Chain A
Amino acid sequence: MSSPGNEVGGAVTAAQTADAVLTVRDLAVEYLLEGGTVRAVDGVSFDLSPGEFLGVVGESGCGKSTLLFAIAQLLVAPAEITGGSVVFRGQSMVGLTDRQLAAIRWKDLSVVMQSAMNALNPVKTIAAQFKDAMRAHGMTSKQEVADRSAEVLRMVGIDPVHLKSYPHQLSGGMRQRSMIAMALLLTPELVIMDEPTSALDVVAQRSLMVQIKELQEQLGFAVIFVTHDMSLVSHFSDRLMVMYAGRVDEFGPTRQVFDSPLHPYTIGLMEAFPSIRGPRVPLTGIPGSPPNLASPPPGCRFAPRCPKVMTRCREETPELYHVNGTLVRCFLQAGEGDGEQ
């Protein structure tokens, strides 16, 4: 459990905390279940600068999706934010009423879900769904709505003639693009994406990623992109946050994390991707499974699977250590880096 006064992700870039679009401090999310509480997110902190692309990476059960939902205030019982803060554009999100949230949603902060088929209304045309979103925020002029709808579709590379289509008439890639178009209707400052490409094939995935990056550079919105596939974000994100068992294990500039990963989990994860090019070497992956969060192991949560585990790791929980601009939660870095902030 991280102690107060913990490190700040914003120290990693030049951005000042005051300018940050999103500030998350010590966020904790728990699920109240019959067998006990499960801490799905345990003390996550970071700052997000305007226009920044943050990749959140981890495997199933690491808490990345829960983190996303917590930020967007979309958690449903039995999940609840039990600690920490989420400050969006200077305003605390936790504790806002539904009406206050509705005003922010889509206008300043929008969400792209994993599967468009689940998120798009199957009985409404694309145009109707766009109109709903815009109407909800006070855009009533028919012309305005029509123009903007066509404009966002063009932005994502879809011919506006498809406004009249129903979701099932579009291909998978087009559906995902319309979801992204919908998220951009009101030019939000922050777009949160939960594995928007995982339902797509590799070619469509790649073109969608390129599209997202282009749009981001064009319109200047910040992105939090959650995925289990590190290599997918490797070329697109500014900073990369690796999560494991509800905690942040490594957090730093993407290139740096890829070129010199420090946390044994990150290293293990990278080595678990067979490569298309380069020599074909036998890989081992990471033995074992993530811990049961209902009763997590004491100390470092990766200790049971760590190839470099020390006695200390099983007894104490490592803090995030600052090493050359990257934050690493590992005792191996305790001596090397600047030490605790």
Chain B
Amino acid sequence: MATLAPGGPGSPSEPGQGTPTAMPGGGVWPTGGLPEGGFSGVRSLRRMRRAITSNGKATVGTGLLALFCLVAIFPGVIAHDNPSAEIYGRALGPSGQHLLGTTAFGQDIFAQVIYGTRPVILIAFGVGLSATVIAMLIGVAAAYLGGAWDGVLSLITDVLLVIPAFPLLIVIASYLHGASTAVLIAVVTAVSWSYTARQLRAQALSLRNRDFLEAARVRGERSLYIILVEIIPTMTSLLMASFLTNALYAVLFSSGLQFIGLGNPNTVSWGTMLYWAENNEAFQTGQALWIIVPGLCIVALGAGFALLNYAFDEIGNPALRPVKSMRRKRVLPR
């Protein structure tokens, strides 16, 4: 936040000074979770809400994400048919009873799409969270501890980084024969964390010599405490970005795996829908909706994550915001 005075409030210790006015606040993030740190949850939630509504990308992204989450949590409210039941007429077009038609097996496509949302959301959040947490622990520890620790941790990170993700995924998943959601989460996490670990290590390295970390050390804090409480909370924007990125790639990777048949084809998910639709040549046989709709959903969810990612970049770093042009006052030379 551009400020021009070193600090808005006059020194409160001056006699006769009224309650000083607060400066316009900086970042958006909920700060410090410790009782010592003091954290006003309500206040920062309010700030976050304001930040989201004021930024177009954030609003759209949040909207998309919220929509899919709701669908994932309450599928039964929206779709009344059983997605797996092959009881309807086959390959029917869209109609009043079947909003998107039916599959070649007689399943209701709309129900499938709705019920198929939950596994995708679970994978997205599951991978997003676990990849970020692993990357955070390894990357930041490597940066802060340095020396031999850094050497070992970085070696592990680099090895995983160099191996192409998707082929590795294919190898692992095919070995596991029909991966369930939990397995998919584990596998995609294992393949994704290394990239983020590298990024987080780089940022932690730049923070390592900041005075407030030395101050914590001089205070007598232990290294683990410094890593968890002093360093990581200052990296929240990068952590958020890595969560969103990993979630996005999780959606794409897992759907991709399911599409080529390495998921569990008996579960209902967008990726498996694509698999079955492709196997039954949905396009060619006039059941285009069967393949298009799950694809669009993947795109929409991915877009939601990506938009939020850009939006948080802008919120966290005012320099990236689009610069509003001022109403130019005509300046007449004298």
Contact = CB atoms under 8 A, between A and B. Distances in A.
A touches B in complex, CB < 8 A: yes
B77 interface: no
Interface string A51-67: 00000000011010000
Going nearest first, the 7 A-B pairs with the smallest beta carbon separation are: A92-B333, A292-B8, A288-B10, A35-B24, A77-B323, A61-B5, A293-B4
A61 B331 contact: no
B159 interface: no
17 contacts: A33-B2, A38-B4, A78-B2, A78-B326, A81-B331, A94-B333, A95-B333, A288-B10, A288-B14, A289-B5, A289-B6, A289-B7, A292-B5, A292-B8, A292-B21, A292-B23, A294-B8
Given A288-B14, A289-B11, A292-B21, 9 more contacts: A31-B4, A40-B4, A77-B326, A80-B328, A82-B331, A94-B333, A287-B11, A291-B5, A292-B8
A288 B11 contact: yes
Contacts of B23: 292
Interface string B126-165: 0000000000000000000000000000000000000000
A290 interface: yes
A60 B6 contact: yes
Interface string A255-289: 00000000000000000000000000000000111
B9 to A, nearest CB: 7
Contacts of A146: none
Interface in A1-59: 25, 30-35, 38, 40
B219 interface: no
A25 B332 CA distance: 12
A287 B11 CA distance: 8
Interface stretch (A83-91, A107-115, A185-193): A83-91
A220 interface: no
Nearest to B54: A34
Contacts of B331: 81-85, 94-95
A173 interface: no
Contacts of B6: 60-61, 289-290
B333 A289 contact: no
Contacts of A84: 331
B11 A61 contact: no
Nearest to A94: B331
A304 interface: yes
Contacts of A85: 331-334
B324 interface: yes
Nearest to A305: B10
B102 to A, nearest CB: 52
A295 interface: yes
B43 interface: no
A78 B331 CA distance: 17
Contacts of A33: 1-2, 24
